[in-house]
Amino acid sequence: MRLVTLILALALLPRAALADEGTRVFVIIVANNNSYDGSRPPLRFADDDGVRYRELFELFSRDVELYTVMDPDTQQTFPDAVSTARLPKRAEIRAGLARAFEKIRAAKAEGVRTALYFIYSGHGDIRDGVGFVHLLDGPLSRQDLYAEVIEPSPADVNHVVVDACNAYFMVASRGKGAKAAGDYAGLVKTLVSRESLDAHPNTGVVLATTTAAEVHEWSRVEAGVFSHELRTAMSGAADANGDGAVSYDEVAAFLAAANGGVPDPKARVQALTRPPRQNLAEPFVRVTSQGSAAVFPKDWQGRFYIEDDRRVRYADINKAAGQDLTLRLVPRPTYYVRGGDREYRLRDVNAGSSHDLGATAAEPISVAARGSADDQLDAHLFAIPYDGEYARGFAQARALADDPLAVAMAAPEPPPPDRLQPWKIGALAVGGSTAIAAIVLEVMARHNSELYRDSAGSREDVRALRERADTQHDAAVVLGAVAGGALLSAGGMYLYDWLVDD
């Protein structure tokens, strides 16, 4: 019954409310908890992220397809999505893209501007320097992303979102400038190479980049950290200048503020954002008239979170005083806005309704705080207030050069790790020490040879001196050979490095 009500409510909205200021939006969402080969431990909330992305995108698009296998808990929370979700298999996704491309061509033939969103949440890996993400029946590689999504897309603009470890390798090859996962500047330089996104100036990307080997999930919100933050930004929390559009710069600034308070780099999610080169001012999303509105009083400040009647965590914010803030909500019977020990209950959150929190009575918190193993995330995520001043400062830092990523690109590249260095040092040490020993023994041998030639002692004494000199000479020859071999090996390794660098 709720699904029927939602469909009717969306159908009654004017077309402009569903579109991005005249742009028709098409969305492909792929969410997969498992690795296709069992090489990664299962994720818990990628499927939840997929369904939540679908609910949010359905505020401004009738053309949303979800590819996921929902676990029992997710099916119980989102029963309406079970019958419409498709399997995250290669053939299914190809068929969905073909349907979307056909609709996009038809819309363009009518003179309608179009946008394609491709969203992935799940596991990512690297093989032979090429990034890929896990589908149910195999990998989707960087080459596949370009060949099957970006290059054939007839849309006027493409937006690609990847929430996975090693996500940057889905749009960049692991070239000479990107030796390791922590080499952020090298990765950015590779990302903007002509072989990748520069050849597709109508495509923008938002990627989760983390030094950890695993996708970050937050059990308190039952979602991936990056995806939860991005959806919060899309709902209007990142719209610092209040123009009804969330720009790529605003997305980047919001995510930086949300994660900036986490002290442990391994627990901190970073985001790499790049708008389409064709139009650097292209909004990532518009939220002007979609959904219902929760309006925060301008003088409110501090941390708040929003849950719906299903106990689904919708958004987290840290509001700065003096900042205008309106969040767009998916239609639900009830939402709870909580901050400190108070909550504000929003009832009958229907499409097009507006709810002024300043005119809503505060009540004591109606639920006990749930325990969480993610103490650091609970304490430090969204610890930095976000407002227009923060967003402007962030944008100015990125605008120090022509390219929005110039700040990251200007960072000095650390030299690549020299795996031969221990062997070179060892060879030099062995060669030097044995050469010194050989020289000392040879000097002693020559000295003893002179002694036995000039000796006037007994025959036994002369024989002993000669044997000692011969033994020392033989040892010196052996050590000299060892020293020569070690020094030649060190020289060969240095020569190899010189040739490779050239």
We report the CATH number of the domain holding residue 302 as 2.60.40
- Residues 215 and 43: their CA atoms lie apart, in Å, by 8
Within a domain: residue 15?
no
Same domain, 397 and 446: no
The first and second tokens of residue 140, run together, are 């989707």
Same domain, 472 and 497: yes
Is 74 or 197 the better-scoring residue by pLDDT? 74
- Residues 55 and 351: their CA atoms lie apart, in Å, by 13
Helix ranges (H only) for 43-123 are 46-57, 72-77, 90-109
- Residue 314's domain comprises 292-384
Q: Are 4 and 96 spatial neighbours (Cβ–Cβ below 8 Å)?
A: no
Within a domain: residue 304?
yes
Angle, nearest 10°, between helix axes 248-259 and 225-232? 130
| pLDDT at residue 134, rounded to an integer | 92
Looking at 367, 384, 401, the residue that finishes a domain is 384
| pLDDT at residue 368, rounded to an integer | 54
Q: Are 366 and 339 spatial neighbours (Cβ–Cβ below 8 Å)?
A: no
Plot region of 262 (φ>0 → left; ψ -120 to 50 → alpha; else → beta): beta
pLDDT bin (cut points 50, 70, 90) of residue 216 is low
pLDDT bin (cut points 50, 70, 90) of residue 208 is confident
Same domain, 262 and 371: no
Whether the full predicted model's pTM is greater than 0.85, yes or no, is: no
Same domain, 286 and 338: no
The CATH number that applies at residue 138 is 3.40.50.1460
Query: Residue 300 pLDDT > 50, yes or no?
Result: yes
Within a domain: residue 1?
no
Same domain, 183 and 36: yes
Looking at 384, 401, 431, the residue that finishes a domain is 384
Same domain, 276 and 351: no
Per-residue pLDDT, averaged over 88-92, amounts to 96
- Residues 223 and 233: their CA atoms lie apart, in Å, by 15
- The rounded mean pLDDT for the chain is 78
Measured CA to CA in angstroms, residue 39 lies from 43, 59, 124, 260, 465 at distances of 12, 36, 11, 31, 69
Same domain, 217 and 72: yes
| pLDDT at residue 220, rounded to an integer | 65
Looking at 384, 402, 431, the residue that finishes a domain is 384
Matching residue, tokens 């990998």? 139
Within a domain: residue 299?
yes
Measured CA to CA in angstroms, residue 169 lies from 209, 257, 339 at distances of 10, 24, 38
Per-residue pLDDT, averaged over 326-333, amounts to 93
The mean-pLDDT minimum among 11-20, 125-134, 336-345, 372-381 falls in: 11-20
- Residues 212 and 216: their CA atoms lie apart, in Å, by 8
Same domain, 353 and 244: no
Q: What angle do CA 122, 317, 181 make, to 5 degrees?
A: 35
| pLDDT at residue 171, rounded to an integer | 52
| pLDDT at residue 102, rounded to an integer | 98
The values of phi and psi at residue 324, to 5°, are -70, 135
319, exposed or middle or buried, with CB in 10 Å at 0-12, 13-18, 19+? buried
Within a domain: residue 307?
yes
Domain count, the chain: 3
Within a domain: residue 221?
yes
Query: Residue 72 pLDDT > 60, yes or no?
Result: yes
Same domain, 332 and 441: no
| pLDDT at residue 270, rounded to an integer | 77
| pLDDT at residue 40, rounded to an integer | 83
- Residues 266 and 233: their CA atoms lie apart, in Å, by 23
Within a domain: residue 415?
no
Neighbour-count burial for 98-134, b at 16+ CB within 10 Å, e otherwise: eebbebbeebeeeeebbbbbbbbbbbbbeeeebbbbb
Q: Are 320 and 382 spatial neighbours (Cβ–Cβ below 8 Å)?
A: no
- Residues 390 and 215: their CA atoms lie apart, in Å, by 27
Query: Residue 205 pLDDT > 70, yes or no?
Result: yes
Residue 30's nearest CA partner among 79, 96, 78, 83 is: 96
Matching residue, tokens 């708008």? 275
Query: Residue 132 pLDDT > 90, yes or no?
Result: no
Report the DSSP pairing between strands 157-163 and 139-141.
unpaired
Same domain, 142 and 242: yes
Angle, nearest 10°, between helix axes 46-57 and 225-232? 10
Within a domain: residue 10?
no
Query: Residue 361 pLDDT > 90, yes or no?
Result: yes
The first and second tokens of residue 91, run together, are 């053939």
Same domain, 350 and 486: no
Report the DSSP pairing between strands 139-141 and 130-134.
antiparallel
| pLDDT at residue 289, rounded to an integer | 65
DSSP secondary structure of 363-430: EE--SPPPP-S-HHHHHHTT-S-B-HHHHHHHHHHHTTSSSTTHHHHHSPPPPPP-TTHHHHHHHHHH
Same domain, 102 and 195: yes
Q: Which helix (H) or strand (E) holds 65?
A: strand 63-67
Q: Which helix (H) or strand (E) holds 5?
A: helix 2-12
Per-residue pLDDT, averaged over 234-261, amounts to 91
